[in-house]
Amino acid sequence: MKSERRLIPYLVPSIADLLLVALLCSLFFTAPSPLLLDGDTGYHIRAGEEILRSRAVPHFDMFSQHAPPLPWTAHEWLAEVIMALLHQWAGMSGVVALYALLLAVTFRLLFRALLSYDTGVLTATAVTLSALICSKLHWLARPHLFTFLFLVLFHHLLERWRRGGGSSLWPLPPLMLLWANLHGGFAVGFLLLAAYLAGAAAGTFAGTAPARRAARQKSAELLAAIAACLAATLVNPYGWRLLLFPFKLVADRYLMEHVAEFLPPAIHGWGPFTWLLLLLLALFALSRRKAEPTELLLIVGFGYMALTSVRYIPLFSLVTAPALAARIGELGRDVRGKWARLLTEISARLAPLERSVRPPVWGTAALAVVTAAAAGGLFRHSFDRHLMPVDACEFVLRTGIKGRVFNSDEFGDYLIYRGYPACRVFIDGRLDMYGAKRLKEYNEVIDFRPGWDRVLERYGITWIMFEADSNFARFLQQRGEWHLVYADNVAKIFEKKSANR
């Protein structure tokens, strides 16, 4: 009986355990996978395979038909190598397992970080779930999910250091070294550092003399950490040029204004972001607690980013979680009544279980189950043939259509995954590589503007693969020079009549 009682604390899952297990298992054991709604996963796998094959990180594109090869900064090279290795080991199931685990660890870490700020178990749970729901619009099996994890980790280390609970900032440079080679989102790590530096610098102008001295000391430590992180980012296959990549991307106004994930969000179109933004505004208006300079800078800075581009909404929800939890906790302490007392009591009773140090029994078991299912082929993932041109690509490879293709940018990534090296694409998800010039030409063709056919002639296009329900596909069916050779509910394939086999 005594041994059974000793086992109970290890077998009863905490909320952190439940969060990790539920996310990992639900994301892995759902088919078709919600993480494979985007074809970019495919080209990342092939890029990683090319790096493994050549034992070199590419500086020029090998997947498109353009000559001479386009300069390419494969800033996600390390993530792509990991994806390729997992794909070789367990197929697409290995890749899905990786990104399901990344998301599960990210939100478990966020929950544990919020708990460490004394926000209360129920408050930490509610805020973690709100960040989870708000970020869900960008849950895809792509390297940007590494940025989710590193953002939460960086923020927690900086916040713990600011509050005096962390001894130093020494873990940041090695983390930045990894981050800079996994995904170009490492730039937001410097935004975090800049916000904390500005907050510390603000303290040098106010308060008592000891407080000003402490603020100057913190500013010096942050400056040293920033310098070390900057040096760490230089350890990559592209050297200092990698640092220019984020700036070149946002400086290309045509890309920013014509690529869906860079466009501003439709506030009425994504409810969780709207409600999170309104809730933050309301809580700050009601709060008696003065906002810290760092806290305010993070909310304003990442809020502006989220309002200018939909891809930054998940980052906003992750960064603002501590401020949201602090204000909700304050409101809960101020509210009186039966329900408030009940919630406070429940949170207090749950706290010992969440704060106790225990072996990760539930997380280990869940990871073991997912690993066994992926490695043993018990649960197989693949791209959904109702969303991706799976059958159309099979037709192309089976019939051996030759020549240069003009393809949808949404299909280009899958074409690389399924057809490379036999098929080289016109365009794919690497729009930063193709640049404004080729994106303009692509838009001229699909909008059939005057001269659209001359663009196809200039590139020697002999066949086209496009979305079945697109205006462009319907337009081609009315043109005498293009012959429909394949059609399904996802894609249509046209051959130029003069080029028919």
Determine the length of the chain: 501
Q: What are phi and psi of 466, to 5 degrees?
A: -145, 165
HSE-up of residue 295 (Cα within 13 Å, Cβ side)? 15
Return the exposure string of 344-375: e unless at least 16 CB atoms fall within 10 Å of the residue's CB, then b. Answer: eeebeebbebbeeeeeeebbeebbebbeebbe
pTM for this prediction: 0.93
d(CA 496, CA 461): 8
What pLDDT score was predicted for residue 33? Answer: 94
d(CA 241, CA 440): 26
What would you report as the CA-atom Rg of the chain, rounded to the nearest whole angstrom? Answer: 25
Return the exposure string of 18-51: e unless at least 16 CB atoms fall within 10 Å of the residue's CB, then b. Answer: ebbbebbbebbeeeebbbbebbbbbbbbbbbbbb
With beta carbons less than 8 A apart as the criterion, state whether 24 and 100 touch. yes
Query: How are beta strands 482-487 and 491-496 bridged, if at all?
Result: antiparallel
- For 371, the enclosing helix (H) or strand (E) is helix 361-375
d(CA 345, CA 409): 54
d(CA 405, CA 460): 9
The DSSP-derived string for 309-359 is: -GGGHHHHHHHTHHHHHHHHHHHHHH--SHHHHHHHHHHHHHHHHHHS---
- For 412, the enclosing helix (H) or strand (E) is helix 409-419
What pLDDT score was predicted for residue 8? Answer: 60
d(CA 252, CA 280): 32
Work out the widest C-alpha separation in the chain, in whole angstroms: 84
Going from the first residue of the chain to its last (501 residues), give the mean pLDDT of each consecutive group of 10, the final group possibly shorter: 57 86 96 93 96 96 94 95 97 97 97 88 92 94 97 95 80 96 95 94 79 85 95 94 82 76 67 87 82 90 90 94 88 63 70 71 92 93 95 94 93 95 93 90 93 94 95 92 94 82 46
Amino acid letter at 262? Answer: F
With beta carbons less than 8 A apart as the criterion, state whether 157 and 171 touch. yes
d(CA 79, CA 102): 12
Q: What are phi and psi of 69, to 5 degrees?
A: -55, 140
What is the edge-to-edge ordering of all strands in the sheet holding 491-496? 404-407, 461-467, 491-496, 482-487
What pLDDT score was predicted for residue 500? Answer: 47
Query: How are beta strands 491-496 and 461-467 bridged, if at all?
Result: antiparallel
- For 142, the enclosing helix (H) or strand (E) is none
Which of 396, 387, 442 is CA-nearest to residue 418? 396
What pLDDT score was predicted for residue 420? Answer: 93
